[in-house]
Amino acid sequence: MAVIFIAAWLIGFYSGNFLSYEVDGSFKGDVIILHKNIATTIIFLLVVRIFWRYTHPAPELPDTMSPRMKTLAHAGHLALYFMLIALPVTGCLYSWSLGYPAPVLYLFNLPALISENPAVTAIVKPLHIWLSWAVGLLLVGHIFAALKHHFIDKDHVLNSMTRQSKSSKK
């Protein structure tokens, strides 16, 4: 899921900040469509992920971490989950409010929950962009924290993030 999320982020970031309809024409449209087709899968993966979390509790954080650091790590994880929900939701609302579909893997469109509505666009467009910037910062923080655990603290946190099924059995 992390790979798909980061791919969706990079494609959205590329389209939003490096492409314009004036210069790039229909290529920008194609890139946005690719962004949507990848990003909508996060909604389905999230349902599986939440079910998995309930049946397979997260591995314990190492005792070398102070209670404050553990609280910070939990807060960071909660924030990431919130973003995982909020980004696809605002993205879909953004598309529907412009009268465009929210396609999934070029296979089908999610049923539109709202019709074209510029007033909704005015709210969800900046929300989607701000959230995407906030999640970018969170992801960078997450990656640095994982690297610090591996190279400085030399604990099992990075391994348990990449090979969760094995370490959660410990």
For ligand HEM, the closer CB: 12 or 157: 12
CA angle (74 as vertex; 35, 80 as ends), nearest 5: 10
**C-beta of 152: minimal distance to ligand HEM in Å?**
29
* Distance between CA atoms of residues 74 and 145, nearest Å: 12
- Residue 124 interacting with ligand HEM (CB under 6 A): no
- Residue 94 interacting with ligand HEM (CB under 6 A): yes
- Residue 132 interacting with ligand HEM (CB under 6 A): yes
Query: What SS3 class is residue 98?
Result: coil
* Distance between CA atoms of residues 132 and 104, nearest Å: 20
**C-beta of 169: minimal distance to ligand HEM in Å?**
30
For ligand HEM, the closer CB: 16 or 76: 16
Tell me which residue of 21, 40, 27, 20 sits closest to 91, measured CA to CA: 40
**C-beta of 27: minimal distance to ligand HEM in Å?**
11
Q: How many residues bind ligand HEM (CB under 6 A)?
A: 24
CA dist 44 → 9, 38, 79, 105 (Å): 17, 11, 19, 12
- Residue 5 interacting with ligand HEM (CB under 6 A): yes
Are 97 and 114 a contacting pair, CB within 8 Å?
A: yes
- Residue 142 interacting with ligand HEM (CB under 6 A): no
- Residue 34 interacting with ligand HEM (CB under 6 A): no
- Residue 9 interacting with ligand HEM (CB under 6 A): yes
From the list 10-18, 53-61, 63-71, 159-167, the region that binds ligand HEM by CB under 6 A is 10-18
For 95-102, the CB contacts below 8 A with 24+ separation are 95/36, 97/121, 97/124, 102/36, 102/40
Residues of the shown chain interacting with ligand HEM in the complex, contacts defined by CB under 6 A: 5, 8-9, 12-13, 15-17, 32, 35-36, 39-40, 42, 87-88, 91-92, 94-95, 102, 128-129, 132
